[in-house]
């Protein structure tokens, strides 16, 4: 039987107001044949579905969501659209509710003729326009046998309004229009503040998206032409001037400059770029014009990959959210039962109006909107903050696991060390009839001989000479012997650079030695200190012999070393640590360490965002700086702390508020204010991560 590769769809959803809304949509999508996973995120207003395209299509999901009474716009609304919509309705509600509140709370002291009828006229615009979305959403949910936050609001305000309407028609003055009008106004106030805060929570991804310029200056038949970014193709030559943003990823072909990559990697120092260097979309050219060949365009650029990863992370769910999911699934029905019970008990001991008011207070205070925002808003802000620091966290599961880590295993080469040989010392030996050779002479002649060598040690010698500003000579008669070194004629001298070390022989006489080593990264020792200060045990794992590994470990301050470990053996060592009860994070380059990264409780891939690195770990450190490990784990701890606080407050409002309202100690207006405050509190608390 032919199987179809699974696909993923991200759909914008409008009309969701609480955790129950999200859960209803998620349950419907998850039970659709052909769907392997469904996740609905209240904070981002998105539904993510993984499905078999041979069994079901995106249009089926759109139909299912719309059948539930929610909308699926063709594209996501602007970040401030929700806030603007709520603000318009809030203004109407406030303008009409204020005089209703004054009349209602005067208890006849104002002596206004036909007061109930005036209050009715003023309340109608609040109910029919300002509160219309609540009632329409509640009706839609009812038609599908569901209940959500809108159901509670509609029942509460609807009961107060209808009771008052009947009393008005009967010529009575015992009305509660102010409760219905003010509750709608307060809920809209809460929604407006919440929408504004949620907009701030999503700032990180918008800032990333705004980094890419809309046009690029492309060479067409030798002429610079401003070209829309969507029309740039791989292979195009792009011209960049000082101060401009780089449009797409590419390789420098002509010119030199320094590029500010801080908004992409978190690295504050500009990075030098010469022919052959890689440049990334969204970074800023600081000085000097250059040209580069486009290599990755559209969704293939590193910037767009980052945007997609952050978007996926912000739309994901952390395991800690499951409790809120379960509670919200039964919450609304439970509240309806409690409200009916409250009404019944109070009706037995008090007038109908008192029973109704207390039942309304229970319905309003119990709205579980804060519960649905507790986890996703914190994840949105946490992952967004991480992206700004060059830390890409793949999702809620990786974020939650990171705070449990007690052991970090560091790969040596490329993680603790630079990952490439560097000249650490040059020594000149002996004298010649023409005089003595200085260290620079030895390095210059050796580098000239190695100029065209592909050997890593040869490249290190050439790089060291260039760093010292030494001018290299042309070499003739170049020859290389595997394992033995190179020979060439430089400036009429016979130069031999020997292997495996780097002895330099000139005209048959030992002229000097060049010491080469894979040096530790400058931040390694500080990074290890930070991890240990967090109570984390640090190990280093390498295939190098023990003596070399111990020397590197001593420089970095690492106590535990696993040496002579082949790549296949790294997985076994990770398993041993896990079997001993450790929660292990493996830190590597994301290519040859991929099995160990996958086996660890958390894989942290170092590097500049190579595709393999992004796939290998739950966390990718864009700038390859070892301090990012501690930053990522600390960010996770802070985010989880915020999530726990959010869940506590979300539950606390309901657990405390419901019995207080049921006992008749909380008016419906105070209940609506508290309910609105609970949502704003949760979102604002999440924003502290910024």
pLDDT of residue 637: 95
- d(Cα 137, Cα 93) in Å, to the nearest integer? 18
Q: Rank 223-232, 331-340, 373-382, 409-418 by mean pLDDT and report only the highest.
A: 223-232
pLDDT interval class at 410 (50, 70, 90): very high
Domains of the chain, each with CATH number or no CATH: 7-67 (3.30.70.100), 78-178 (no CATH), 213-300 (2.70.150.10), 391-419+521-630 (3.40.50.1000), 422-517 (3.40.1110.10)
pLDDT in tens, 189-235: 888 887 787 777 667 677 777 788 999 999 988 899 999 998 999 99
pLDDT interval class at 266 (50, 70, 90): low
Is residue 632 scored above 90 in pLDDT?
yes
Is residue 614 scored above 60 in pLDDT?
no
Contact criterion met (CB below 8 Å) for 638 and 689: yes
Is residue 609 scored above 50 in pLDDT?
no
Least confident of 17-31, 118-132, 198-212, 493-507: 198-212
Is residue 311 scored above 90 in pLDDT?
no
Higher-confidence position of 294 and 331: 294
pLDDT interval class at 612 (50, 70, 90): very low
pLDDT of residue 534: 95
Respond yes or no on whether the N-terminal peptide bond of residue 500 is cis (omega within 30° of 0).
Answer: yes
Q: Rank 332-346, 525-539, 610-624 by mean pLDDT and report only the highest.
A: 525-539
Least confident of 107-111, 131-135, 164-168: 107-111
Higher-confidence position of 630 and 323: 630
pLDDT in tens, 88-109: 999 999 999 999 988 887 766 6
pLDDT in tens, 222-245: 899 999 998 999 999 999 998 899
With both helix axes pointing from N to C terminus, report the angle between 456-467 and 439-449 in degrees, rounded to the nearest 10: 130
Is residue 3 scored above 60 in pLDDT?
no
Is residue 613 scored above 50 in pLDDT?
no
In the predicted model, what is the mean pLDDT of residues 360-370? 79
In the predicted model, what is the mean pLDDT of residues 257-271? 76
pLDDT of residue 610: 46
Q: pLDDT averaged over the chain? A: 84
Higher-confidence position of 128 and 460: 128
For 197, residues 6+ apart whose C-beta sits below 8 A from its C-beta are 377, 680, 683, 684, 687
pLDDT in tens, 505-537: 888 888 888 888 778 888 999 999 999 999 999
In the predicted model, what is the mean pLDDT of residues 451-473? 85
Which of 636, 149, 42 is CA-nearest to residue 376?
42
Least confident of 58-72, 258-272, 477-491, 671-685: 258-272
pLDDT of residue 520: 86
pLDDT of residue 670: 85
Is residue 636 scored above 90 in pLDDT?
yes
Is residue 591 scored above 60 in pLDDT?
no
Residues 169, 173, 175, 178: what is their CA dihedral angle, to the nearest 10 degrees?
Answer: 120
- d(Cα 574, Cα 585) in Å, to the nearest integer? 9
Active site residue 507: no
In the predicted model, what is the mean pLDDT of residues 633-639? 94
Instruction: Give the DSSP per-residue string, 305-351.
Output: HHHHHHHHHHT---GGGHHHHHHHHHHHHHHHHHHHHHHHHHHHHS-
In the predicted model, what is the mean pLDDT of residues 396-417? 89
Q: How many CA atoms lie within 13 A of 239 on its CB side?
A: 11
Is residue 314 scored above 90 in pLDDT?
no
Catalytic residue among 249, 411, 544, 593: 411
Is residue 346 scored above 90 in pLDDT?
yes
pLDDT of residue 265: 67
pLDDT of residue 89: 94
pLDDT in tens, 30-40: 999 999 989 88
pLDDT of residue 267: 63
Contact criterion met (CB below 8 Å) for 42 and 376: yes
pLDDT of residue 568: 72
């Amino acid at each position: 039987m032919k199987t179809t590769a699974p696909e993923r769809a991200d759909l914008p959803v409008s009309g969701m107001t609480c955790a129950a809304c999200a859960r209803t949509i998620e349950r419907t999508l998850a039970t659709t044949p052909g769907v392997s996973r469904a996740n609905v995120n209240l904070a981002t207003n998105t539904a993510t579905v993984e499905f078999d395209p041979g069994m079901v299509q995106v249009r089926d999901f759109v139909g299912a969501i719309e059948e539930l009474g929610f909308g699926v716009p063709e594209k996501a609304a602007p970040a401030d659209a929700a806030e603007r919509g709520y603000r318009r309705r809030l203004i109407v509600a406030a303008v009409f509710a204020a005089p209703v509140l004054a009349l209602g709370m005067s208890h006849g002291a104002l002596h206004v003729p036909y007061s109930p009828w005036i209050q009715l006229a003023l309340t109608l615009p609040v109910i029919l326009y300002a509160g219309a979305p609540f009632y329409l959403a509640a009706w839609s949910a009812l038609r599908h046998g569901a209940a959500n936050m809108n159901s509670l609001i509609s029942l509460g305000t609807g009961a107060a309004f209808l009771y008052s309407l009947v009393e008005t028609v009967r010529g009575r003055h015992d009305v509660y229009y102010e409760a219905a009008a003010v509750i709608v106004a307060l809920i809209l106030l809460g929604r407006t503040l919440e929408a504004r805060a949620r907009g701030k929570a999503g700032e990180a991804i918008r800032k990333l998206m705004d980094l890419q310029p809309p046009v690029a200056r492309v060479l067409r038949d030798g002429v610079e032409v401003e070209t829309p970014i969507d029309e740039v193709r791989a292979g195009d030559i792009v011209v960049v001037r000082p101060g401009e943003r780089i449009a797409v990823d590419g390789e420098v072909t002509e010119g030199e400059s320094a590029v500010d990559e801080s908004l992409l990697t978190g690295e504050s120092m500009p990075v030098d770029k010469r022919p052959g260097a890689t440049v990334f979309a969204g970074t800023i050219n600081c000085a000097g014009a250059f040209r580069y060949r486009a290599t990755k365009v559209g969704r293939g650029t590193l910037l767009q990959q980052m945007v997609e990863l952050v978007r996926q992370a912000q739309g994901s769910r952390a395991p800690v959210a499951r409790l809120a999911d379960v509670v919200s699934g039964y919450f609304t029905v439970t509240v309806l039962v409690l409200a009916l019970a409250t009404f019944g008990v109070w009706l037995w001991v008090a007038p109908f109006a008192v029973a109704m008011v207390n039942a309304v207070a229970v319905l309003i205070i119990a709205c579980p909107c804060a519960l649905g925002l507790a986890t996703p808003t914190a994840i949105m802000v946490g992952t967004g903050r991480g992206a700004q620091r060059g830390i890409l966290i793949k999702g809620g599961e990786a974020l939650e696991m990171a705070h449990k880590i007690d052991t970090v295993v560091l790969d040596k080469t490329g993680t603790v060390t630079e990952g490439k040989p560097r000249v650490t010392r040059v020594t000149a030996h002996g004298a010649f009839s023409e005089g003595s050779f200085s260290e620079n002479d030895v390095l210059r002649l050796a580098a000239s001989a190695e100029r065209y060598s592909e050997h890593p040690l040869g490249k290190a010698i050439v790089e060291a000479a260039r760093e010292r500003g030494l001018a290299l000579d042309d070499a003739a008669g170049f020859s290389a012997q595997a394992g033995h070194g190179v020979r060439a004629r430089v400036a009429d001298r016979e130069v031999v650079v020997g292997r495996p070390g780097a002895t330099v022989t000139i005209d048959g006489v030992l002229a000097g030695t060049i010491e080469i080593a894979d040096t530790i990264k400058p931040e390694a020792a500080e990074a290890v200190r930070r991890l240990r200060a967090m109570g984390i045990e640090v190990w280093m794992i390498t295939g190098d012999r023990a003596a070399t590994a111990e020397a590197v470990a001593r420089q970095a301050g690492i106590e535990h070393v696993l040496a002579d470990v082949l790549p296949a053996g790294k997985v076994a060592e990770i398993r041993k640590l896990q079997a001993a009860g450790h929660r292990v994070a493996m830190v590597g380059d994301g290519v040859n360490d991929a099995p160990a990264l996958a086996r660890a409780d958390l894989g942290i891939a170092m590097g500049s965002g190579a595709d393999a690195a992004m796939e290998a770990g739950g966390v990718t450190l864009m700038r390859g700086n070892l301090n990012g490990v501690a930053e990522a784990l600390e960010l996770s701890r802070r985010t989880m702390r915020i999530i726990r606080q959010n869940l506590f407050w979300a539950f606390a409002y309901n657990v405390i508020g419901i019995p207080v309202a049921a006992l008749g100690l909380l008016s419906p207006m105070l209940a609506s204010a508290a309910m609105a405050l609970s949502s704003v509190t949760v979102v604002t608390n999440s924003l502290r991560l910024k």
